[in-house]
Structure 1
């Protein structure tokens, strides 16, 4: 990965994008009783997921294997950290 690509990813994260991972289950074109899986990852915006839905539309238009189901997860990579006030400290020697 080049420095320019990494910089572009950081800019996306700062704009609120997170990493979306989708597990796509689809039927084999010649063997409709056989399910296969495909894993897709892309930076996307929750809760609308425009990139994921664009890919699903592409799949339905261009790829012969009909979709069975899609399972996905989304994780923001840059988020506020948890903060807590520490009142005391114990030292063990």
Structure 2
């Protein structure tokens, strides 16, 4: 069952964006980038570390470094259920 983004945010998840810097096996002098985004839990970031382990196990391009940021977009105290809508004009 797929959980919606709103449900994840209400459970405390935030949007984690990571930029991976890596080198291709044939071109060691060229540094490439890859951007990855996923809803994840701070401060442990289990999905981010799971993806890093996948990269190291399955992708030939060795990682040089990873830069990431985490933004909690919504907390349970900020969400309101709006029942009606008022149109002006």
Q: Which has more strand, going by share of residues?
A: 2
Q: Which has more helix, going by share of residues?
A: 1
**TM surpasses 0.5:** yes
Query: Normalising TM by the smaller chain, what interval?
Result: 0.7 to 0.9
Which of structures 1 and 2 has the larger relative contact order (alpha carbons within 8 angstroms, sep 6+)? Answer: 2
Moved over 4 A (4+): none
- 10, 16, 21: which is aligned to 1:14? 10
In structure 1, the residue matched to 2:81 is none
Unaligned runs of 5+ in 2: 79-89
User: Given the two structures, how large is their TM-score scaled by the length of structure 2?
Assistant: 0.80
User: Given the two structures, how large is their TM-score scaled by the length of structure 1?
Assistant: 0.77
Aligned length, in residue pairs: 77
- Give the number of the structure whose alpha-carbon radius of gyration is greater: 1
Unaligned runs of 5+ in 1: 82-93
- CA RMSD between the two structures: 1.6
